[in-house]
Amino acid sequence: MKSETEYITMNIPQRRALVNITSQVREVVQKSGVQEGLCLVNAMHITASVFINDDEPGLHKDYEDWLEELAPEKPHSQYRHNRGVEDNGDAHLKRQIMGREVVVAITDGELDFGPWEQIFYGEFDGKRPKRYLIKVIGE
């Protein structure tokens, strides 16, 4: 069995962003040489997410609005988590909603997506370096 592991560090300059990371994941799958297997991609921070969906700006704005309605950033005082030095209680909840990781099948050496599917890194408390993991296993 072959495997490949890469840790990618990102520094999102704003507090929140959705970043298409599909091309980086494809590069790691190709580097691995795996023809049939699985690819796991996960956020390694509790205020970030990895998820699959369409790369369409209107949808991205819909996500932003929906998440802000479910877990508004302000007032910071509404979150018990923020009663110390933190101000990111909303980011923890947004991550929980959007999920930690995705697993994609690899078929004939390629990510086996449905129509329009792409992999995204969702940042909900940026302005500092954070990592995500790409792990490929298979034959």
Give the tens place of pLDDT for each residue, 59-113: 999 999 999 999 999 999 999 999 988 999 999 999 999 999 999 999 999 999 9
| CATH match of 2-55+94-138 with 2.60.40.10 | no
pLDDT at 95: 97
Domain positions in the chain: 2-55+94-138
Over residues 32-50, mean pLDDT: 98
pTM confidence score? 0.95
Q: Sign of dihedral through CA atoms 25, 52, 18, 137?
A: negative
pLDDT at residue 84, as a whole number = 87
9-33 residue pLDDT tens: 999 999 999 999 999 999 999 999 9
Question: Is 126:12 a contact under the CB 8 Å cutoff?
Answer: yes
Q: What pLDDT shows up at residue 85?
A: 87
